[in-house]
């Protein structure tokens, strides 16, 4: 069995000024704001989202910012099954499957260079649904 990656869902970039970056993406590029939480702002970028994250790390983020500040979020239909499959293949697990307050179920693995790759499953009322 292979992991059924359904596409890129989110790219996270760490910026010096989230409000300034959001204004650029919203005004200059016309991307609609779809989410705002804990100093982060997301804009819709086609089928994916661009999450603007403060460059300063809070205590929650320090544990996941082990190797740089690039994060990929890949959509999968079943996070738990995907994580079990990857763990069986020896892929290092950074974060166990977790129900997030924004309505998604996420887990994270590490790629061979130590970059976090999040596996994300949509839930009802997640931040991409507009509910």
Q: What is the pTM of this model?
A: 0.66
- The per-residue pLDDT for 131 is 47
- The per-residue pLDDT for 128 is 55
- The per-residue pLDDT for 117 is 85
- The per-residue pLDDT for 44 is 94
7-121: CATH topology: 2,3-Dihydroxybiphenyl 1,2-Dioxygenase; domain 1 (3.10.180)
- The per-residue pLDDT for 70 is 74
Spell out, as residue ranges, where the chain has pLDDT lower than 70: 57-69, 112-113, 124-131
Residue holding tokens 């239909």? 77
The distance of Cα 106 from the centroid of its chain, to the nearest Å, equals 8
Order of strands across the sheet that contains 116-121: 33-37, 40-45, 48-54, 7-15, 71-75, 116-121, 105-110, 93-99
């Amino acid at each position: 069995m292979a992991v059924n990656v359904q596409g890129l869902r989110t790219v996270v970039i760490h910026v010096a000024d989230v409000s300034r970056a959001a204004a650029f993406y919203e005004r200059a590029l016309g991307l609609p704001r779809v989410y705002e939480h804990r100093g982060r702002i997301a804009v819709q970028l086609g089928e994916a989202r661009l999450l603007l994250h403060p460059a300063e790390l809070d205590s929650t983020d320090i544990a996941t910012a082990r190797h740089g500040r690039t994060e990929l979020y890949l959509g999968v239909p079943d996070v738990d099954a995907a994580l079990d499959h990857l763990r069986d293949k020896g892929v290092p697990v950074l974060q166990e499957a977790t129900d997030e307050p924004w309505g998604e179920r996420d887990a994270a693995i590490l790629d061979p260079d130590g970059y976090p790759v999040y596996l994300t499953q949509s839930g009802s009322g997640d931040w991409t649904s507009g509910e």
